[in-house]
């Protein structure tokens, strides 16, 4: 890992994706701390890249992506579970009420 | 494959927009509450977003800001990021549209988000204006 960023190694031309926008979206819409971890790694991508540590920037990019995706899918999972429970309870209440009326 | 994924994402996005336009989460029960708020009793940086989106879709920026001002403030940033992506797709480089990739910018975002998280939980004026309210 370290060898890649030593002087003399070829300079990659484009900065790795920093996932900042996705992290912000996860933070604002998912209300989970994973988005904030994503923002921290986004910051690391930019600063490592600016310091010329390209391999470290690449690693930070992977971490940023990982935490942002975890946040997104945990949020999605919670939403799906919630909706399933909501409709199961709704159906149970509805059929319960129907029995009561009969 | 990628196109199919984008197409599905677009349909889900459009469906969500319709649902959030029609139903007001402030008065409808089937929208999920924030897990963080439910567990701790403290607001997270995203609390009020669903109610804010409903208001935004109806053009009420002031009401949306009352529920989550961070969401409203993030819109110009998201718009900028979209335009930067378009620029990069066309030109092959971000050129001057590289704010998202400046070392200071994510740090500033982090400070704003963490401050907002802390301050909106303070139970006295003027910070109560940051907590979700009508």
Nearest chain A alpha carbon to B37: A31
Contacts of residue B78 in chain A, CB cutoff 8 Å?
A: 21, 24-25
Rounded to two decimals, the ipTM of the complex is 0.84
Question: What is the pTM assigned to this prediction?
Answer: 0.83
| B48-92 pLDDT tens trace | 999 999 999 999 999 999 999 999 999 999 999 999 989 988 988
Q: Residue B61 half-sphere exposure, CB side, CA atoms within 13 Å?
A: 5
Q: Residue B72 in contact with residue B52, Cβ under 8 Å?
A: yes
Q: Residue B76 half-sphere exposure, CB side, CA atoms within 13 Å?
A: 5
The arithmetic mean of pLDDT across residues A50-74, rounded, is 92
The arithmetic mean of pLDDT across residues B104-114, rounded, is 94
Q: Both tokens of residue B54?
A: 């409903």
| A70-95 pLDDT tens trace | 998 988 888 888 888 888 887 777 67
Q: Distance from A9 to chain B by nearest Cα, in Å?
A: 22
pLDDT above 80 (res B17): yes
| CA B21 and chain centroid, separation | 16
- 3-state SS assignment for residue B72: helix
């Amino acid at each position: 890992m370290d060898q890649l960023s030593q002087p003399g190694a070829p300079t990659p031309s484009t900065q790795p994706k920093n996932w900042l926008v996705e992290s912000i979206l996860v933070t604002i819409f998912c209300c989970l701390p994973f988005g904030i971890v994503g923002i921290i790694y986004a910051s690391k991508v930019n600063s490592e890249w600016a310091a010329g540590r390209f391999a470290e920037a690449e690693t930070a990019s992977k971490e940023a992506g990982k935490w942002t995706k975890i946040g997104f899918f945990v949020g999605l999972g919670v939403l799906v579970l919630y909706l399933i429970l909501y409709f199961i309870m709704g159906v149970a209440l509805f059929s319960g009420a129907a029995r009561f009326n009969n | 494959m990628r196109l199919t994924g984008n197409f599905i994402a677009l349909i889900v996005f459009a469906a969500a927009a319709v649902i959030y336009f029609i139903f007001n989460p402030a008065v409808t029960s089937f929208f999920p509450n924030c897990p963080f708020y439910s567990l701790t009793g403290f607001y997270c940086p995203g609390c009020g977003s669903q109610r804010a989106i409903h208001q935004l879709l109806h053009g009420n920026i002031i009401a949306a800001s009352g529920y989550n001002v961070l969401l409203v403030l993030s819109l110009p940033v998201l718009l900028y990021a979209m335009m930067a992506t378009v620029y990069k797709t066309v030109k092959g480089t971000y050129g001057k549209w590289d704010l998202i990739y400046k070392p200071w910018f994510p740090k500033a975002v982090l400070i704003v988000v963490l401050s907002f998280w802390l301050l909106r939980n303070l139970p006295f004026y003027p910070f109560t204006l940051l907590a979700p309210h009508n």
